[in-house]
Amino acid sequence: MKLLVITQSRNRAGRTVQVRKDVTADWVRVGRNAASEVLLADPRIALSQGLIVDRNGPVYTEGEMGTMTSTTRKAVRAVRLSPGTTLDIGPYKVSALVPPPGYTGAITVELVRPAENVAGEFLTRAAKLTLASLRLPKRGVALALFALVAIAFFLLPAARVLDLPWRQPEGVAMASDRFWNPGPVLLAHQPVELKCEACHQVAFRQVLDAACLECHARIGHHVAPAMKPAALFEGRRCAECHRDHKGVKATHRDDDRFCADCHRDIRSRANGSQSQDVSDFAKDHPAFRLSLPSEAGARRVRQGGAPIEEASGLVFPHATHLDPAGVKHPGKGRVVLDCQACHHADASRRGFVPVAMKRDCQACHRLAFEPAMGEREVPHGSPREAITVVREFYANLALNGTEDSFEKAFGVPGAGLLRRPGVPSEEARRAALALAGERAERATRELFGSRLAASGRKSEQVSEELFQVRVCSACHEIAEREGPEGTRWEVAPVRQVSRWMPNARFDHASHAQSKCADCHDVARSKKSADVAMPRIEACRECHGGSRPVERKVTSNCLLCHGFHEQKHPWDPRFVPKAGARVAKGPAVAH
């Protein structure tokens, strides 16, 4: 098929312009597609609008080829292009002409309704087709949100802290910095929770120790001054271990890492340390050290070597007192004692009050000195007072004693000086005083004298039993010193230990389910020097290390130890960096 296509248009001057084009093809494509032989370049035309085929002359068909893509979706139409025929293809007018010789057909194509000429009333009602055309304020919203966040959450709250120009006078709270608070503070810190500058004293600097020490003025350092803790902890801050805003309960974690970091190899950190290396209670905790009393103060001795002996100055065999058959009681016969008979819990129930003579011993260990008058006892605690009481007692007896008591006390018949008729002669007075003094001297010697010395005189005095229980040396170590004023009795000072391991926290109440003897094996102890403190092995029967183990109490360092050595306060010296901006806080309106 050979087709003559005349494209007709008007130039600017309004003259008709014709472009002629010969097309030779089996079929001729009509459409917007650039490959179309008859190109109808108008948006209203489909890419493949139609075809002109040769069916004994040119026939325009539509919809055969382009049914899928044809957007007109018109019904198929076929128009024979016999000369004189005109047809509308969208805005184009196609007219069939008489074909010149040699041509199958001829057509003119003219855009009769150009897009710009469309009446277009509808176009005015289809002007705003996108969100952008509605002028939705994307940037405006973005900038507004930016400003809102910046102003409400930073610029206003920061005005006070950084002393910015729009800072409000005190008491006018425009925006609070409470929204800067990252989390709840420790319960004890909640009174100052809204007063940030109480702790955050210097802007853009980490919380300074001085802020902590304002309240925690008496917090202990980790080690004694001898270890130079300030140098040891140079550059470390409270807040490195204590992090607040992490919940109301704790600012630190019970974590062995804190301790083991240094104590795993303690001498590399602190050369003079007396401690042994430790990283875990179950694994490598060294044997316990006991603080033993001595003349020079406490002396720490590690368990595991020679048996440890204390020097309490007392004579006390536990075995005798815990005899299952009981001990002899002056009034009640044999009495079986248990630990609680002498050891009483203190108010906290954690430990025990020291054993006291009057409360715990004297019911049996009576301090009577005159067999004839068993009720009379010397006061406990001061040898001088005891001797004075004995002297006064016998002097009084020598003055006022009845014949009966006089004879029992002095072993000779007679009566008190004042009970005799007549005025006592100087000689009689001296004799009575000498008698009383000698008797008092003997009684004192019996009280204080060693058991050995006393037993040598037992025949002339009371029964052995009574004698044995009343002497001071039953419990005390006594020294007899001859001086210019006569014999002086010295009772060795008593050093009862109530805290054997002062650096460990131990709560007896928490261990109440155990028997005393589980840890303190005293039933066979015959010497008061025996120390019945448990060894670490006993603890490890129940206590494991920091890693959980079946049937063991998981135990980390802080279960028994504290970090802060209470006796030596933290060094509160601190110098803030010069020029740092200091947060100026109001007296916060809560």
Stretch of residues binding other proteins (CB under 8 A), selected from 244-252, 289-297, 381-389, 537-545: 244-252
For 319-362, the DSSP string reads HHHT-TT-EEETTTEEE---HHHH-EE-TTSSSEEPP-IIIIIT
Contact flag: residue 131 with other proteins (CB under 8 A): yes
Minimum distance of other proteins from residue 234's CB (angstroms): 19
- Give alpha helix (H) positions in 25-137: 121-124
User: Minimum distance between the CB of residue 204 and other proteins, rounded to whole angstroms?
Assistant: 6
Q: Of 99-107, 143-151, 459-467, 478-486, which part binds other proteins (CB under 8 A)?
A: 143-151
Least CB distance to other proteins at residue 585 (A): 11
From residue 43 to residue 82, the character string flagging contacts with other proteins as x (rule: CB under 8 A) and all else as - is: xx-xx---------------------x-x-x---------
List 83, 183, 379, 572, residue binding other proteins (CB under 8 A): 183
Q: Between residues 258 and 352, which has the closer beta carbon with respect to other proteins?
A: 258
Helices 403-410 and 426-448: crossing angle in degrees, nearest 10, is: 50
Task: Compute the distance between CA of residue 157 and CA of residue 291 in angstroms, rounded to an integer.
Answer: 56
**Mode of pairing for the β-strands spanning 333-335 and 50-54:** unpaired
Nearer to other proteins, 166 or 335 (CB): 166
Residues 75-94 that bind other proteins (CB under 8 A): 90-91
**C-alpha gyration radius of the chain:** 56
Site for other proteins in 251-280 (CB under 8 A): 251-253, 255, 257-258
Number of Cβ within a 10 Å radius of residue 349: 12
- Tokens in use for 89? 């293809």
List the one residue from 8, 25, 32, 210 that touches other proteins (CB under 8 A): 32
Residue 154 binds other proteins, judged by CB under 8 A = yes
Asked if 574 touches other proteins (CB under 8 A), the answer is: no
Q: Is 440 left (phi over 0), alpha (psi -120 to 50) or beta?
A: alpha
CA distance 100 to 120: 40
Instruction: Pick the piece of the chain touching other proteins (CB under 8 A) from 240-248, 386-394, 509-517, 530-538.
Output: 240-248
Nearest distance, CB of residue 358 and other proteins, angstroms: 51
CB-CB neighbours of 583 under 10 Å = 20
Amino acid at 499: R
Contacts 24+ apart (CB under 8 A), 54-59: 54/1, 54/26, 54/27, 54/104, 55/80, 57/81, 57/82, 57/104, 57/105, 58/1, 58/3, 58/28, 58/96, 58/104, 58/105, 58/107
DSSP class of residue 135?
T
Piece of 15-23, 128-136, 293-301, 477-485 that binds other proteins (CB under 8 A): 128-136
Taking each continuous run of H as one helix and of E as one strand, the counts in the chain are: 19, 20
The dihedral built from the CA positions of residue 76, 80, 81 and 87, taken in this order, carries a sign that is negative
Can you tell me which of 200, 263, 285, 470 binds other proteins, judged by CB under 8 A?
Answer: 200
CB nearer to other proteins: pick between 156 and 447? 156
Closest distance of CB 248 from other proteins, Å: 13
Please answer whether residues 441 and 369 qualify as being in contact, where contact means their C-beta atoms are separated by less than 8 angstroms.
Answer: no
CA distance linking residue 389 with residue 402, whole number of Å = 19
Whether the CB-CB separation of 557 and 283 falls below 8 Å is answered with no
Nearest distance in Å: CB 258, other proteins? 8
Count of residues that interact with other proteins, criterion CB under 8 A: 70
- Nearest-angstrom CA–CA distance, 586 and 590: 11
Least distance to other proteins, CB of residue 313, Å: 48
Among 153, 233, 352, 506, binds other proteins (CB under 8 A): 153
Told to check if 412 binds other proteins by CB under 8 A, we report no
User: Whose Cβ is closer to other proteins: residue 252's or residue 264's?
Assistant: 252
Binding flag, residue 120, other proteins (CB under 8 A) = yes
Which is nearer to other proteins, 280 or 370 (by Cβ)? Answer: 280
Nearer to other proteins (CB atom), residue 43 or residue 305: 43
Give least dist CB 273 to other proteins, A: 23
207 binds other proteins (CB under 8 A): yes
- With contact defined as beta carbons under 8 Å apart, do 415 and 406 qualify? yes
Tokens representing residue 345 in the block: 């819990």
171 sits near other proteins (criterion: CB under 8 A): no
Report yes or no: 242 and 260 within 8 Å, Cβ to Cβ: no
Give least dist CB 111 to other proteins, A. 12
Which 312-331 positions form the footprint of other proteins (CB under 8 A)? none
- Show the DSSP H helices in 372-419 as ranges: 383-400, 403-410
Q: Which of 41, 123, 217, 319 binds other proteins (CB under 8 A)?
A: 123
| Strand-strand pairing, 50-54 and 27-31 | antiparallel
For other proteins, which is the closer residue by CB, 205 or 511?
Answer: 205
> Where on the chain is the footprint of other proteins (CB under 8 A)?
32, 43-44, 46-47, 69, 71, 73, 90-91, 113, 115, 118-123, 125-134, 136, 138, 141-150, 153-154, 158, 161-162, 177, 179-184, 196, 200, 203-207, 240-241, 243, 246, 250-253, 255, 257-258
